[in-house]
Amino acid sequence: MTSPRFSFTLHATDGKARTGTIAMQRGEIRTPAFMPVGTAATVKAMKPEAVRATGADIILGNTYHLMLRPGAERVARLGGLHKFMNWPRPILTDSGGYQVMSLSELRKLTEKGVEFRSHLDGSKHMLTPERSMEIQRLLGSDIVMAFDECPRADRPKDEIASSMELSMRWAKRSREGFDSGEEHAARAALFGIQQGALHEDLRRISAEKLIDIGFDGYAVGGLAVGEGQEAMFATLDFAPDMLPEDRPRYLMGVGKPDDLVGAVERGIDMFDCVLPTRSGRNGQAFTWNGPLNLRNARFAEDTGPLDDRCACPVCTTYSRAYIHHLVKSGEMLGAMLVTEHNLSFYQALMQGMRDAIAAGRFASFASDFRRDYLHAKA
């Protein structure tokens, strides 16, 4: 029996929280899922087999970075992103739209797309919905994201509205571009992205337009762009409900452990964020009792593990004192160990949420989590 192109099966719901499985040809994705970010064809400081050992079913790759270096055509000639980086499981690629707006220079936005200069060497590029679909196809992406524009949430409402309308026209062109790649389209999935910032009426219009086009999954975009957790949760109180129940819902670019719990509580199934890896390189460890800054002198002679509730290879082997020393000395092993622990912690948090939803005890899981994580002494 061949694996399906894409299927999503819900196993249990508890309040708005859901747990299920996405099945794809390269493997299954347990939801709620956290996707480590592999920006430049690497989850920084981690070998792919170690990423898998943390419990990750899927990773994210960045179209913007990969199109500039090493280039999508080159990755395709080398056999695709999975082979190139030795990650045989599903990969989701973003569309490049968000990073063009946040990283590149001299952008020119038109109906056609975005013209920009590379932040690496100043070279000129054009990203359109069609080119974004082509790049994600060349990379061999399993879950392709529609090309959109993500404005800051604090822009005036009329700007947010016209940006959302543009993104919806681009979503239609993304659908057509994706479908034109017949062989790839037969084994990959395409997600649409809801926009509309914090506005309920715009979010509803966006959802309706996306559903009309039809996607395998739906992302809530345009959040985690500086609006703060309270405003994000207020939007998540209504935005996911507008998206089809029988499709996965993906909150892009989120977030802190307490963001993940609050978003799952509001019906989100998938996440990605650089936080566990970036923090790992900065000596910040996430634990069930809140984040720890390993640079702090109080860890200099602490023989305990990063987290005494964590079963990861770092916590069963190395002391806070040793990791403090590595981080203080700028040793790369410090970044590697804290990253590995952080990704393990994030996956353990997702597993904890999946188990709690399946057992119908998500509310108590969430309140226990908040008691320990948010009320811990930093």
Identify the residue among 310, 326, 343, 349 touching Zn ion (CB under 5 A). Answer: 310
CB of 334 vs Zn ion, minimal distance in Å: 14
Whether 355 is a known active-site residue: answer no
**C-alpha pair distances (Å), 64 with each of 6, 95, 146, 187, 298:** 25, 8, 13, 23, 41
The bridge status of strand 249-251 relative to strand 59-61 is unpaired
Nearest to 64 by CA among 41, 89, 47: 41
* Number of residues counted as binding Zn ion (CB under 5 A): 5
User: What string marks each residue from 334 to 353 as x (binds Zn ion by CB under 5 A) or -?
Assistant: -------x------------
Q: Which of 14, 142, 269, 272 is catalytic?
A: 272
User: What string marks each residue from 84 to 123 as x (binds Zn ion by CB under 5 A) or -?
Assistant: ----------------------------------------
CB of 323 vs Zn ion, minimal distance in Å: 10
The annotation places the binding site at 94-98, 148, 195, 222, 310, 312, 315, 341
Stretch that binds Zn ion, among 83-91, 94-102, 184-192, 311-319 (CB under 5 A): 311-319
Whether 272 is a known active-site residue: answer yes
Identify the residue among 72, 193, 275, 315 touching Zn ion (CB under 5 A). Answer: 315
Cβ closest to Zn ion, residue 209 vs residue 320 = 320
Q: Does 320 bind Zn ion (CB under 5 A)?
A: no
Cβ closest to Zn ion, residue 167 vs residue 342 = 342
Cβ closest to Zn ion, residue 114 vs residue 312 = 312
The annotation places the binding site for Zn(2+) at 310, 312, 315, 341
Cβ closest to Zn ion, residue 164 vs residue 315 = 315
Q: Which of 94, 142, 216, 269 is catalytic?
A: 94
Q: Applying CB under 5 A, which residues contact Zn ion? A: 310, 312, 314-315, 341
Q: Which residues are catalytic?
A: 94, 272
